[in-house]
Amino acid sequence: MSTSTPTPSVVPAKTSPGWQRKLSHLVGPLVLLGPPGVWLLLLLVVPTLLILQLSLIPGIRPGQPIDGFGLGNYLNIFQPVYLQVIWRSVFFALGSTVLTLLLGFPVAYWIALMAPKRWRNLLLVSFVLPLWTSSLLRAYAWITILRPTGVLNSFLSTLGLPTLDLLNRSGAVFIGMSYSFLPYMVLVLYASLEKLDRRLLEAAADLGASAPQAFWKVTVPQTLPGIAAGCLLVFIASLGDFVVPELLGGASSMTVSRLIYNQFLGATRNWGLGSSLSMVLILAVSISIALLIKYGDRDPESFS
């Protein structure tokens, strides 16, 4: 890399005069932080600002001249058609978050507190192993299972049970999203449960608390930051997900991601609307992260 020319090693810092020392103090940060900073500035910060600018030009389409600024694009979002899409995205994200919490908590609890100690790492690693495979192919696997002539229905009909029509409906999206993001939830919950002070559980039992009492009064409050972090992580990931609703949800399950996609690569080509939706999505995610930082890192003591 041309950026790593080691100027500071040539200048012996201890004997150089003041201005030179100052310069050599600047060289280090510039060499280390300059190149990645420029890259992020050019391909992340400037593009995001461009999107912000586009979002403020009502109804702009590629190749059109800029025709005054305004909030038209943001007001446009409040049309029932688009509000419905946003509501559906939030609904999918919330539902998947609840499902992954319900499925993930027992697994994380079992691995962290019940499984034999030397198996813990291996169990955790094997649980998150599917994350290493393509997310497209994991969603595709559910198509082969859920489609009308798929694995599930041929299994049901051999048992003499009525077949289910799940593909291209909300149910399939919930299954697919929970499947995709469950490993994240388990990872975060495990990290939190592993740190749980077991003496508190013993103390609760010694003081006569029943198992459910100990669970709700000790375990849950102690791991609440982890639960919050896991839920927000899954919520954010599923809110912006494109692949699962697209492959499993069918035409009636358009989400915000797909709506934005259509404004740029689809037939609609309304860059202004797409940009404002994009900004709203970024805003929603930023608010979630701000909430996580505000409440997630808090001392667990303050919850009990």
Give the x-and-dash track for 129-158 against another protein (CB under 8 A).
Answer: xx-xxxxxxx-xxxxxx-x-xxx-xx----
From the list 71-79, 189-197, 221-229, 238-246, the region that binds another protein by CB under 8 A is 238-246
Cβ neighbors of 59 (< 8 A, separation 6 or more) are: 72, 73, 76, 270, 272, 273
Q: Tell me which of 74, 82, 92, 127 binds another protein, using CB under 8 A.
A: 127
> Hey, CA dihedral for 147, 148, 152, 155, is it positive or negative?
negative
Which tokens hold the place of 69?
């600024």
Q: For residue 39, count CB atoms less than 10 angstroms from its CB and return exposed for 0-12, middle for 13-18, buried for 19 or more.
A: exposed
Is residue 238 within 8 Å of residue 93, measured between CB atoms? yes
Q: Tell me which of 74, 92, 109, 174 binds another protein, using CB under 8 A.
A: 109
CB of residue 196 vs another protein: minimum separation in angstroms?
15
Q: Which residue's CB is nearer to another protein, number 264 or number 303?
A: 264
Q: Tell me which of 23, 28, 66, 81 binds another protein, using CB under 8 A.
A: 28
Cβ neighbors of 26 (< 8 A, separation 6 or more) are: none
Residue 295 contacts another protein per CB under 8 A: no
Distance CA 186, CA 68 (A): 49
Residue 271 contacts another protein per CB under 8 A: yes
Site for another protein in 49-108 (CB under 8 A): 50-51, 54, 62, 103-104, 106-107
Give the x-and-dash track for 165-204 against another protein (CB under 8 A).
Answer: --------------x--xx---------------------
Residue 287 contacts another protein per CB under 8 A: no
CB of residue 81 vs another protein: minimum separation in angstroms?
19
CA angle centred on 129, ends 123 and 132, rounded to 5°: 165
Residue 289 contacts another protein per CB under 8 A: yes
Which tokens hold the place of 267?
């037939």
Distance CA 87, CA 93 (A): 10
